[in-house]
Amino acid sequence: MPADLEEKTDRYGDLLAEALEAATVAPPPDSPLGEAAAECEEMARSYLDDGRHFREHDDPVNALAAFSYGHAWLDAGARIGLFDVPTDGHLFTV
């Protein structure tokens, strides 16, 4: 397996895990937007779990895809205001 794929898979897995820790739900949890944020967060966590599963089973391509999809859920949620996130650094594109 190419080293680039392994490095990128590890980097994206770490990015997603760090982004999940940094993001907080912005709207009130009992509001429709709060529920939408919770669903986006759940999707991101599920993709993190899936990526880790694929990684453990020596499937870095699907692991990378899962980590990327998970981060996309968080990043899109941050862009539309569902999450408060740090605006400096490398975690989000907002």
pLDDT of res. 13? 98
Q: From first to last of its 94 residues, what are the pLDDT tens digits of the chain?
A: 556 999 999 999 999 999 999 999 999 999 999 999 999 999 999 999 999 999 999 999 999 999 999 999 999 999 999 999 998 989 998 7
Supply the pTM of this predicted model.
0.91
pLDDT of residue 94: 75
Domain housing 60: 3-84
Domain contains 21: yes
Total domain count, the chain: 1
Query: Can you give the CATH number for the domain in which 63 is found?
Result: 1.20.1270.90
Cα Dmax for the chain: 46
Structural domain contains residue 11 = yes
Domain contains 89: no
Task: Establish if 90 belongs to a structural domain.
Answer: no
Give me the residue label for tokens 């997603």.
16
